[in-house]
Amino acid sequence: TNWVYTFGDGKAEGGAGDFERLGGKGANLAEMCNLGLPVPPGLTIVSDVCAFYYKNSRKFPDELKPQVMQGLQRMEAITGRRFGDTERPLLVSVRSGGRASMPGMMDTVLNLGLNDATVQALGHDAGDARFAWDSYRRFIQMYADVVMGLDNEVFEEILEDEKARFGHEFDTDLTAVEWQHVVSIYKTVIEEELGEAFPQEPEVQLWGAVGAVFSSWMNARAVTYRQLHNIPEAWGTAVNIQAMVFGNLGNSSATGVAFTRNPSTGEKELYGEFLVNAQGEDVVAGIRTPQSITEVARIASGYDKPSMEKLMPEAFAEFKGICAQLEAHYRDVQDLEFTIERGKLWMLQTRNGKRTTKAAMKIAVDMVDEGLITEDEAVSRIDPTTLDQLLHPTIDPRVRREVIGSGLPASPGAATGEIVFTAEEAIVAEEEGRKAILVRIETSPEDIHGMHAAEAILTTRGGMTSHAAVVARGMGIPCVVGAGTMRIDMRNEKLIGIGITLTKGDIVTIDGSTGQVLKGEVPMIQPELSGDFGRIMAWADRSRRMTVRTNADTPADARAARSFGAEGIGLCRTEHMFFEGDRIHVMREMILAEDETGRRAALAKLMPMQRLDFTGLFTIMHGLPVTIRLLDPPLHEFLPKTDEEIAEVAGIMGMEPSVLRQRVDALHEFNPMLGHRGCRLAISYPEIVEMQARAIFEAAVLAARETGAAVVPEIMVPLVGLRSELDYVKARIDEVARAVMTEARMKIDYLVGTMIELPRAALRAHIIAEAAEFFSFGTNDLTQTTFGMSRDDAAAFIPTYQRKGIIEHDPFISLDFDGVGELIRIASERGRRTRNDMKLGICGEHGGDPASIHFCEDIGLDYVSCSPFRVPIARLAAAQAAI
């Protein structure tokens, strides 16, 4: 087996395509070498060795050693130096480099090959003894830390003491003799602390370092990082051994990092920093302030020292050319590391550069204009989830976060305000021009007006599909739900967080993008939509197959969604229309009615309100499809709970509180999410369907007359499990349709379809499709019912499941392809078997999640529907899925 790939002198055994075996660093070093760029020679031990190492109780394959030694000989031949030589010693760096970048997580050793003899030779050869001894002490420090396990602090302390003793302020002030002295103390301390001497044999040093790098794959930091970023453990890391070049060989030497374009603005300008007379680690360590590479940036950003462009014009010119070459070659922004050794430029790393969303947009659009990439490629390069950064204010990434609690990131964006504990207080605050954060254990419909008035919402209970989460997303208000680490003491108006107790009026910041709750006010970055955004979205729209609709419950939502590019309404949750203002009272009257007469009386009041809203929706959508779902209220969301609430509601309704209490008790359900909701309500009380159908058809007539555009209402029946349920409800709808058409003397086309939210419905889809003209997958309920996990309670244990590796992600956020997805696949196939032109869509919260959208594309759904602010995300994700 070939465990080692060499590179150097214009030739490499691997290339960029081999990144799986060589890791990103090794593959790109090889690629640069093949491009003829100045890369110090080296070799890469492939990542398969990492797997071998862990499978064989930390042993290497037998062939590895001879292969490495052969590679080393090649490096010796190219450099004209020899490993361990006492005249012209070859020094090497040993670095990790996996398939995915894991910055700072794993170990590195520089200056390897130095010992008491070679340090003398290095000093001689370079004509700089100070440099040699400084390098030796750096090596000892790193090696003892990384390989021998002696904490670096020990050395830092010694260095501080000695500097003080010698009367120096900076490391750079120490002379050769003084460094030599420090080295001898280092070596003594190692022997004292570890009971073994610092290894003098370069080959022993080399294998020690290689072993340490492979071992660092399993260190705690790296393991956690991989879990956070979904990097499989099986990938392993490669190890790069490369001839050292020195940026610390005096004032004609330097080391630096650069981006080929500005990674925060996307501006097409070389952007980077360097340090004269320094080694790579110094730039990152922040001991000395780096200088600007270009003169333009030096002037613009007020660096006080001269730029590399001024100081080292030749190296700069060569570097600039290489930047352009690499960017054109990789067709993407490059993030580079380089060293200049006595005026000679060496490239040490290149990779695609990380960037802000704004920069990503600009760069993608510019590269299309430059003819570097295609429009589809530009679309594919934007991470849809990062669009949040453009649509909502976000916390300035440069500020330190004082986190006092955290929950689920239910609705993106960040906001600051004073804590209020009731909807009323939020409204008062808004009226008085103060910003409020509404903090509740959970929210209910009567909080709606307060939710609107608040800057952000925080709840300590509930999951990603809880009332607060769904409503806040719909409104585009930042929201964190299920903050289990925080507690609310309502009586004393306190919010108790991690090591802190806050009172009403105290200022907090909510980050709905991360789920964090922060103390006090935090600087924000305001969103701005650039022309680049518009162009990317236009390209995305051209490339996607699925339509993107929105979940909109009110004309205001619908208008917002249109401005984000929604192409219709995929779900209007009619019960949400009764959250606003006084409507909730009428809705309650309807729910609490003792008999049909009472119910009809309440329904008669609801009817004009619904008709008005539906007319609004139809008019705004102007001929685009509008799916209206029949009433589906989980009863507990609408009923008063506490004595106070009951007293209040009873007052409004003119009832005795005790009578109301009885009625509430009678309606109490143990599992309201699985209770008397959805079509079950319609079957118990068909007068509800009749009222809603009438409101829809009359609104369709009004809107058609008003806009002149044909209105084709799509009426959707929720929570169907049986064909007979749908038949019953559909018969009521058809009856009303006939009546309204006769009255209005107008033909209205309409569709009646169903949500697929229950496993039974998915399995019987071919039968249900005989009656249903379309399916919309209600994946919130389908996830709840497939897993048997309550969507309101799952937040209590899902984080534990994730932490323990039982599940990878929250299935209420991103679709569970294997289980819930399988049911969707089955239902789609069976539904289309019966009705081959059947329209299929998704309207659960997953409709705005990019991974779930990919799945929808793969199985051939016609549309996804999501909350208004996620429409751009869905447009982009749908395009990427189709490309």
Which parts of this chain interact with ligand PEP (CB under 6 A)?
465, 571, 573, 632, 757, 778-781, 843-844
Nearest distance from residue 430's CB to ligand PEP, in Å? 27
Cβ atoms of 294 and 374 within 8 Å: the answer is no
How many CB atoms neighbour CB 822 within 10 A?
13
One-letter amino acid of 606? L
- Report what 844 binds from ligand PEP, Mg ion, none; CB cut-off 5-8 Å by kind: ligand PEP
List all residues 6 or more positions away from 358 whose beta carbon is below 8 Å from its beta carbon: 264, 265, 266, 389, 390, 528, 530
DSSP 500: E
Strand 507-511 relative to strand 516-519: parallel, antiparallel, unpaired? antiparallel
Residues 773, 673: Cα–Cα separation, whole Å: 26
Nearest distance from residue 65's CB to ligand PEP, in Å? 59
- Report what 571 binds from ligand PEP, Mg ion, none; CB cut-off 5-8 Å by kind: ligand PEP
Count Cα neighbours of 260 within 13 Å in the Cβ-side half-sphere: 25
Tell me the two tokens of residue 417. 């305000």
Nearer to ligand PEP, 294 or 465 (CB): 465
Angle value at C-alpha 873, between 553 and 825, nearest 5 degrees: 80
- Report what 779 binds from ligand PEP, Mg ion, none; CB cut-off 5-8 Å by kind: ligand PEP
Active-site hit among 50, 679, 843, 856: 843
Tell me the two tokens of residue 836. 């081959």
Cβ atoms of 510 and 414 within 8 Å: the answer is yes
Nearer to ligand PEP, 260 or 465 (CB): 465
DSSP 544: -
Nearer to Mg ion, 293 or 571 (CB): 571
Nearest distance from residue 520's CB to ligand PEP, in Å? 35
Residues 616, 572: Cα–Cα separation, whole Å: 12
The answer to whether 843 is a known catalytic residue is: yes
The 3-state DSSP class for residue 629 equals strand
Tell me the two tokens of residue 673. 């999410």
Residues 361, 540: Cα–Cα separation, whole Å: 13
- Report what 375 binds from ligand PEP, Mg ion, none; CB cut-off 5-8 Å by kind: none
Nearer to ligand PEP, 472 or 488 (CB): 472
Nearer to ligand PEP, 844 or 872 (CB): 844
Nearer to ligand PEP, 442 or 541 (CB): 442
Strand 271-276 relative to strand 254-259: parallel, antiparallel, unpaired? antiparallel
Nearer to Mg ion, 6 or 551 (CB): 551
Residues 75, 52: Cα–Cα separation, whole Å: 25
Q: Which residues are annotated as a binding site for Mg(2+)?
A: 757, 781
- Report what 573 binds from ligand PEP, Mg ion, none; CB cut-off 5-8 Å by kind: ligand PEP
Partnered with residue 238 across adjacent β-strands are 97
List all residues 6 or more positions away from 531 whose beta carbon is below 8 Å from its beta carbon: none
Nearer to Mg ion, 429 or 464 (CB): 464
Nearest distance from residue 862's CB to Mg ion, in Å? 19
- Report what 358 binds from ligand PEP, Mg ion, none; CB cut-off 5-8 Å by kind: none
Residues 67, 232: Cα–Cα separation, whole Å: 27
Cβ atoms of 754 and 768 within 8 Å: the answer is yes
Count Cα neighbours of 665 within 13 Å in the Cβ-side half-sphere: 7
Long-range contacts of 305-311 (CB under 8 A, 24+ apart): 308/254, 308/256, 308/274, 311/276
Residues 24, 335: Cα–Cα separation, whole Å: 12
Q: For 486-515, b where at least 16 C-beta lie within 10 A, e where not — what string?
A: bebeeeebbbbbeeeebebeebbbbbbbbb
Q: For 15-47, b where at least 16 C-beta lie within 10 A, e where not — what string?
A: bbebbebbbbbbbbbbbbbbbebebbbbbbbbb
Q: Which residues are annotated as a binding site?
A: 573, 629, 757, 778-781
Sign of CA dihedral 299, 302, 307, 311: positive
Cβ atoms of 847 and 853 within 8 Å: the answer is yes
| CA-wise closest residue to 401 among 414, 391, 387, 389 | 414
Residues near Mg ion, by CB under 5 A: 757, 778, 781
Nearer to ligand PEP, 465 or 550 (CB): 465
How far does CA 701 lie from the centroid of its chain? 44
The answer to whether 866 is a known catalytic residue is: no
Nearest distance from residue 776's CB to ligand PEP, in Å? 8
User: Cβ-closest residue to Mg ion?
Assistant: 781
Cβ atoms of 842 and 777 within 8 Å: the answer is yes
List all residues 6 or more positions away from 431 whose beta carbon is below 8 Å from its beta carbon: none
Nearest distance from residue 107's CB to ligand PEP, in Å? 47
Nearest distance from residue 716's CB to Mg ion, in Å? 10
Q: Which residues are annotated as a binding site for substrate?
A: 573, 629, 757, 778-781
Nearer to ligand PEP, 589 or 632 (CB): 632
Which secondary-structure segment (H or E) carries 295? Answer: helix 295-301
| CA-wise closest residue to 850 among 811, 878, 871, 823 | 878
How far, CA to CA in Å, does 278 sit from each of 282, 315, 882?
A: 6, 16, 49
- Three-state SS for 794-859 is HHHCHHHHHHCCCCCCCCCCCCCHHHHHHHHHHHHHHHHHHCCCCEEEECCHHHHCHHHHHHHHHC
- Report what 283 binds from ligand PEP, Mg ion, none; CB cut-off 5-8 Å by kind: none
Active-site hit among 392, 449, 452, 467: 467
One-letter amino acid of 478? P
Nearer to ligand PEP, 337 or 632 (CB): 632
Residues annotated as part of the active site: 467, 843
